[in-house]
Amino acid sequence: MTENVISLKNVSKCFKRYDRPGDRLKEIIYPTKKLADEFWALHDINLEIAQGQTLGVVGRNGSGKSTLLQIIVGTLTPTAGSVQVKGRVSALLELGSGFNPEFTGRQNVFFNAQILGFNHKETAEKFDEIAAFADIGDFIDQPVKTYSSGMFVRLAFAVATSVEPDILVVDEALSVGDEAFQRKCFARLQSIQEGGGTILFVSHAATSVVQLCTSAILMDSGELLLAHTPKVVISKYQKLIYADPDRVLELKSDIRVLNQLTKQESEKTLQDVNLDSTKTEVEPEQYLSQPKEHYDEFFDPGMIPSNTVRYPSRGAEIINPHIETLKGNVVNHLLGRQDYVYTYSVTFSRSTSKVRFGMLIKTISGFELAGASLKASSQSVRYVEAGTTIVVKFQFKCLLNPGVYFLNAGVVGTVDGDLSYLDRCVDVAMFRVQSCTESCGNGIVDLLIEPCLTVVIDSDWLVKEQSTEAL
């Protein structure tokens, strides 16, 4: 079995909060006086992380994610419980930690690498690669206090990942960099994964967690509410953040039940495996993915196309293109084989005739999968007055296999006798189709394929078998 490299047993963390700065000192001098409010940022956390796992940590602000990571990294000690961490840990914590603002970038690289156990010569060998990855030009020889937050993260990420860590901890840092840099970082995280490294990754970006992580946990008010697959954890997290305040408690207790069931199922699977002496190894993913996955529709605000093209408007503007369920909930994580509505509004700033609306769904590589445009003869709107807004809805059945898809929207009409696009947006929204339990399909389009098996028995063989039995 893969070795656990991080193990937390009944870990709790209490912070003392003082109303006045002097109270902390007073309490040390007069230990019987209790001047602090105790605040429990973590309650009884149990967590095992196997080597090679990438654990996503999600939860609302203040839920204890950073406290948990700092306890694992060793910059905080737990108030109760025990922590075991095996291997070299490199951490990219909140902005600013680990760098001395008065030193230059170059000096900080050497300083940090030394803390991580590299000598001057080893760091000098790595330096060019680190500087190239950070790509901050001459700023490398400027004091770090002059850096923008983007530069800071570039250098911090370059250092943290270049030192070949056994365990890499990344706390929300990547949301600061631009998209191109983020892609570069993800590629590097993937190469750490391929090398068997273990990663702990705090992020609000649901898509990153689902794509990168092998498992995930959901923290809430210092409690480890759920440990499950990234998809399930993200789906519950999204439900929690968008829930009505009076539904939160109910939702949390539902999530606790799911967590308990998952734990029982994985313990049972482990027991079964231990009983079966022919199977000596079980990958963590194997038993984590055993419990049935609960896919839900939801909206991930971080899922925004990075390559939207808007053509110049000619008298109309397409507003808020998005997908809704039939009940009107906005979603961008869809379920296969369900009905949805792709909708947008169009506001006309000029009077226009013969107006028609269109849509298109494409794959990531830009292949045009399906579209619709209202027929010129029967479905165009004969005349639209300036100042009018029209809401356009295209209902469709999501007959697509799991994957990410992109949407276009367009409106054409006749202005001054010319038929032309009045507004047109390319890759204006995107959505993910999640697995549908009934489908066994693959490829892009779900043709509702139903497999059917017929066993054909060779009659000669049957006769021979029977005669052998008769002997």
Ligand X SMILES: Nc1ncnc2c1ncn2[C@@H]1O[C@H](COP(=O)(O)OP(=O)(O)O)[C@@H](O)[C@H]1O
Contact between 24 and ligand X per CB under 6 A: no
C-beta of 21: minimal distance to ligand X in Å? 13
Closest residue by Cα to residue 429 from 401, 412, 409: 409
Please identify, using beta-carbon distances, which residue of 171 and 446 lies nearer to Mg ion: 171
Query: Amino acid identity, residue 377?
Result: S
- The values of phi and psi at residue 189, to 5°, are -60, -40
Q: Which does 277 bind (CB under 5 to 8 A by kind): ligand X, Mg ion, none?
A: none
Q: Which of 66, 182, 198, 262 binds Mg ion (CB under 5 A)?
A: 66
Q: For the stretch 401-419, what's the b/e string if a residue is b when 16 or more beta carbons lie within 10 angstroms of its beta carbon?
A: bbeebbbbbbbbbbbeeee
Please identify, using beta-carbon distances, which residue of 56 and 402 lies nearer to ligand X: 56
Contact between 67 and Mg ion per CB under 5 A: no
Please identify, using beta-carbon distances, which residue of 59 and 441 lies nearer to ligand X: 59
Closest residue by Cα to residue 385 from 312, 316, 313: 316
Q: Which of 1, 10, 17, 149 binds ligand X (CB under 6 A)?
A: 17
Within 10 Å of residue 22's Cβ, how many Cβ atoms?
A: 10
Select the span of 33-41, 57-65, 299-307, 448-456 touching Mg ion (CB under 5 A). Answer: 57-65
C-beta of 61: minimal distance to ligand X in Å? 4
Please identify, using beta-carbon distances, which residue of 56 and 64 lies nearer to ligand X: 64
Q: Which does 238 bind (CB under 5 to 8 A by kind): ligand X, Mg ion, none?
A: none
Site track 42-61 with ligand X (rule: CB under 6 A), x = hit: -----------------x-x
Please identify, using beta-carbon distances, which residue of 65 and 154 lies nearer to Mg ion: 65
Q: Which of 45, 65, 318, 400 binds ligand X (CB under 6 A)?
A: 65
Please identify, using beta-carbon distances, which residue of 76 and 428 lies nearer to ligand X: 76
Strand-pair category, 54-59 with 80-85: unpaired
Q: Which of 67, 112, 238, 434 binds ligand X (CB under 6 A)?
A: 67
Please identify, using beta-carbon distances, which residue of 41 and 436 lies nearer to ligand X: 41
Q: Which does 62 bind (CB under 5 to 8 A by kind): Mg ion, ligand X, none?
A: ligand X
How many residues at the interface with ligand X, by CB under 6 A? 12
In the complex, the residues that contact ligand X under the rule CB under 6 A are 15, 17, 39, 41, 59, 61-67
